Structure 1
Amino acid sequence: MKKRYKLIGKFLRESFRQSKIKSIICCLIMFVLTLLSVFLPIILQRIIDVAIGGKNASALFVYGGVYMAVMIAIAILNMLQQYNLSYLKTKMTIRYKYLLLKKLSTFSGAYYSEQKSGEVLNIIDNDTDMVENYGIDLVFDFVRNVITSLFALSMLVHIQSTILCIIIGIQIITIVVQSKFSRVLANKTAEVREQSGKVYNIIEQYISNILEIVILKARRYFLIHYLKNEGEFARKGIRLDVLFSASSQSATFLSSLTTILVYIIGGMEIINGSIQFGELIAFQQYTAMFIGPCMGLLKINESIQRVWVSLDRIYGFLESSSTIVQNNKGLKIPDHVTQINMKNVNFSYSNNKILKNINYKFRPGKVYALVGATGCGKSTIINLLYRLWDVESGEITINDKNIKEYNLYSLRKNIAIVSQNTFLFDDTIENNLTLNNNRIKKEDYIETCKRIGIDEFISKLPDGYQTQVGENGVKLSGGQRQRIAIARMILQSKDILIFDEATSALDNITQEYILDNLRQYYENRIVIMIAHRLSTIRKADEIVVLNQGKIVEIGNHESLMQKKQYYYQLVEERSV
């Protein structure tokens, strides 16, 4: 319980920091609204006992006018309050989503390999929406309910203390019953949220891989799998709804019992001449003001169970640590990288030895090719350099300093990678090239596109560089996407360039044209290529041949072919 309210307290502090002025305005409006609401039964009592009972027409108009003025003021203040609360809620939701998306990019490669995207989407989408819909409102409702109930209680003591004792007794029973419900509701809500994440993940997988599913004719498998999990989600959701309904109905019954007892006992007091009719009406309204907020507090407790589950998932994600230790105050990568040195590097994944005692230096001005059979460790070297994983033993240095000493953001910022699975944003070609970097001028990206032979194609499009490429570049061919990705990498002007099967979708002639035109660009940079195509490998100045996690040969194409060892075997077997 302590953890729940600690999380909610943290949420409130962060919410109020988003706009202190609007938060203060909301508090002031809430206080004024409470005072005006408590004032209404007094006016109503005067209308009944003084104006109507005393047959005083002028008093009737005066009190009636005051009553209407208070109601208008309440309506206006409620609208202002809703505006300010909506502003605070929306701003906080945007902040949460921004922080979650930002955090998502800081994890290790193991996290990206194992984490189900649907679960993350559920947190970013559904949990933030839950907090937006209930979070800040709960606080103001809670404070307003407490103040209102205390004011109402003081008025009830003043009017009729006997009936008040009965009301308090029923409220104690209500609190006990609702507290029993709240504990069960908290657990069941967590179960529903967990199952919702599973369903979300299944749907996300289906949408993301729809083409493969159609080709595999796996729709039936997916639908059965989906219905099974959706059915479990529905069953848990129905049970939760029934529990919420039972909680609500029990509270409603006890509230109705209180109301009828007030009228019965109050009616007897009127018959006995102890109170006037207007006082009974005022008492009934103050009773509603006392019970309503008390019930509201119980309802808030139910909502807190929902919000707490979402906040727990949100903050759990934001505060989770990566296996990659990030030295955010570490060194920045130098303006010019003079070497990358791998010293006795070993790495295992899931108890499988991937790299074994790797020793090698990469220097600027050369094009390096990493070659070997599938699973030999080529991509792992790149992942370790990018610090998606950390080495098991040994070290990787840049300019003679361990890469762990560098600020992680600075390290990754200085490495540009183009992979086989090229990613493009659902945006214009221009924005995909520049990534909204205002320092990249139009003439720069046009010149770069000319260099890799794609400017002519883009210029012939109806909207040219403003053409929308569609989701993940679906409106372009694989080769066109790869060339845009290569152009984007060049425009980033990084010291370390990595091509991971980056030209796999290009024909040999186009590939030759691009590689030849980029030679001048490589001069002061470290260029590492992973490729299976011989025409790509032959262009490398130095080929690093890996076999079962070890470097077995080093040289250029001609020298390695003359040795007639492992590389020669790969070429002959068309493995490269």
Structure 2
Amino acid sequence: MKKKNVVLEQIRKYKWGYLFGIILVAMDAIVTYIYPQLITNILDKAVLAKDPGAVITNVAYMAICQLVSITVALALSYLFCKMSNGFIVKIKLLLIQAMFQVDGKEIEKKSNLFMTSMNADVNNIEMLSSRMLSDLLIQIVTVIITAVILIQINPVIFWFMLLIYPILIAIQIFFNKKIMSQSRKVMGKMDVGNGLIKEFVSNLYEYLALNGRNYYIDKFCRNETSLRNEILKQNMLMAYNRSVPQLISTTTFLIVLAISGVMVINGQVQFGELTVIIMYTQRMFNPLSSIMLVIGQFQKAKVSMDRINEIVG
């Protein structure tokens, strides 16, 4: 029988909120699609026609697009944070209630897990759900709309960029596996650390009476040093997960810039289209770095969900 996922059950209760979030993202998608057309209208039409009225009109529309985009981002941030606050409180209550039902033989093991879950595990889920998920939706839509725009302007450039994506995905899969494995190690060390802290508080008088200070400090420091080393490895994996794709995307952008420049010289691409290509090539790769960062955080959150389900499920 498949074990239920208590965390996901709590998140599903906010499905209408997520639906509203999708509507907001759709609004952002529309203005993202319109924006480059306004740029080309200014550079390739209004400027060449020496029509200041058309320039001002298009700039005004661009300002409206920016305002809508900013408003959507703020609304999504508030919405997801509000929903996150709701189910995070419920998850903590479920953890507390579950601890009252723990079998006596498992109290010591579960209590260490409980202490870490109430802090680090819940924080991992909260960071993903309240701070990163709204950005992820916008970034995904940005990549899709940008791809559509680039296809319309110059399919050659789009297909060249698309060839890079499998490489980036392969890198992502590799690092995600590493991050998930490392997250489990970090959380395990945190459990041990919480157990040592609880042991210290419970047996403080005994340590004082038996002059056990050096014994405890040595034991605590060994685990703490090991924990910090594992955290360092985890952070470096996440840093590599950002830096390697960034290096690839930057190299790709420079190649696209060179190709586009030659196309302008040869009359294959207009100047306004070149401006859009430069802007949206970066917009196609920059969100990818953010998406990869969120996916890395998702791996940590998934480990935390499993640990919470171990207590509550």
Q: Which residue among 118, 123, 147 is the counterpart of 2:117?
A: 123
Task: Call closer, same or farther: CA 1:164–1:20 in 2, change over 3 Å.
Answer: closer
Following TM superposition, by how much is the alpha carbon of 1:39 offset from its aligned partner in structure 2, in angstroms?
A: 2.5
Kindly state the Cα deviation for residue 64 of structure 1 after the two structures are TM-superposed: 1.2
**Alpha-carbon shift at residue 286 of structure 1 (Å):** 2.6
> Structure 1 46/214 Cα, relative in aligned 2: closer, same or farther at 3 Å?
farther
Contact 2:25 2:141 in 1 (8 A): no
| Alpha-carbon separation, structure 2, partners of 1:137 and 1:9 | 22
1:171–1:291 CA contact under 8 A, matched in 2:
no
Shift of 1:275: 1.1
Alignment of 1:143-158 (within 5 A): 143-158=137-152
Aligned with 1:32 (options 19, 27, 30): 27
With the length of structure 1 as denominator, give the TM-score of the two structures: 0.51
Task: Report whether the alignment pairs 1:41 with 2:20.
Answer: no
Using a 3 Å threshold, how does the CA distance of structure 1 residues 9 and 49 change in structure 2: closer, same or farther?
farther
- For the 8 Å contact 1:134–1:307, the answer to whether it is kept is yes
Match of 2:63 in 1: 68
Answer yes or no: is the 8 Å Cα contact 2:7–2:309 preserved in 1.
no
Aligned counterpart, 2:11: 15
Q: Residues of 1 paired with 2:32 and 2:5: CA distance? A: 28
Shift of 1:116: 5.8
Q: Is the 8 A contact 1:148 1:293 kept in 2?
A: yes
Write the letter of the residue equivalent to 1:88.
Answer: M
Structure 2: which amino acid aligns with 1:234? R
Deviation at 1:205, TM superposition (A): 2.6
* Distance in 1 (alpha carbons) for counterparts of 2:25 and 2:206: 55
Corresponding residue number in structure 1 for 2:286: 292
SS at match of 1:273: coil
Specify every segment of 5 or more residues in structure 2 that has no aligned partner in the other structure, as ranges.
none
- Which one scores higher on RCO, CA 8 angstroms, separation ≥ 6? 2
Q: CA deviation at 1:215?
A: 3.7
Q: In 2, distance between residues paired with 1:203 and 1:50?
A: 70
2:300 and 2:23 mapped to 1: Cα distance? Answer: 28
1 CA distance for matches of 2:5 and 2:37? Answer: 36
Contact 2:242 2:292 in 1 (8 A): no
Secondary structure at the residue paired with 1:115? helix
Which segments of 5 or more consecutive residues in structure 1 lack a partner in the other structure?
1-5, 320-576
Deviations 1:67-117 (A, max 9, x none): 1122122222222221111111111110110001001111222222x4263
CA contact (8 A) 1:12 1:136 kept: no
Mapped to 2, the partners of 1:7 and 1:32 lie a distance apart of: 38
Equivalent position of 2:302 in the other structure: 308
Q: What is residue 201 of structure 1 aligned with on the other side?
A: 195
1:240 maps to 2:234: yes
Q: How high is the TM-score relative to the length of structure 2?
A: 0.90
- How many angstroms apart in 1 are the aligned matches of 2:209 and 2:42? 77
Match in the other structure for 1:317: 311
Per the TM alignment, residue 193 of structure 1 is displaced from its structure 2 partner at its CA by 1.3
The amino acid that maps onto 1:15 is I
Per the alignment, do residues 56 and 317 of structure 1 end up closer, same or farther by CA in structure 2, a change over 3 Å counting?
same
Pair 1:133 & 2:135 matched: no
Report which of the two has the higher share of helix: 2
Verify: 1:256 aligned to 2:250, yes or no: yes
Q: Distance in 2 between matches of 1:216 and 1:90?
A: 46
Instruction: Say if 1:175 and 1:298, in contact at 8 Å, map to a contact too.
Output: no
Change (3 A) 1:137 1:16: farther
SS of residue in 1 equivalent to 2:269: coil
User: Aligned equivalents of 1:238 and 1:66: distance in 2?
Assistant: 47
Q: 1:307 to 1:210 in 2, by over 3 A?
A: same
Instruction: Select 1:189's aligned residue among 176, 183, 202.
Output: 183
Local SS of the residue matching 2:49: coil
Structure 2 counterpart of 1:330: none
Alpha-carbon distance change, 261 to 10 in structure 1, aligned in 2, over 3 angstroms: farther
User: 8 Å contact 1:38–1:151 — kept in the other structure?
Assistant: yes
CA distance change for structure 1 residues 123 and 63 in 2, over 3 Å: closer, same or farther? Answer: same
Q: Secondary structure at the match of 2:185?
A: helix
Give the residue type in structure 2 aligned to 1:66. Y
TM-aligned CA distance change 1:108 to 1:8, over 3 Å: closer
Match of 1:188, as an amino acid?
A: Q
C-alpha distance in 2, partners of 1:11/1:28? 24
CA distance in 1, matches of 2:55, 2:18: 39
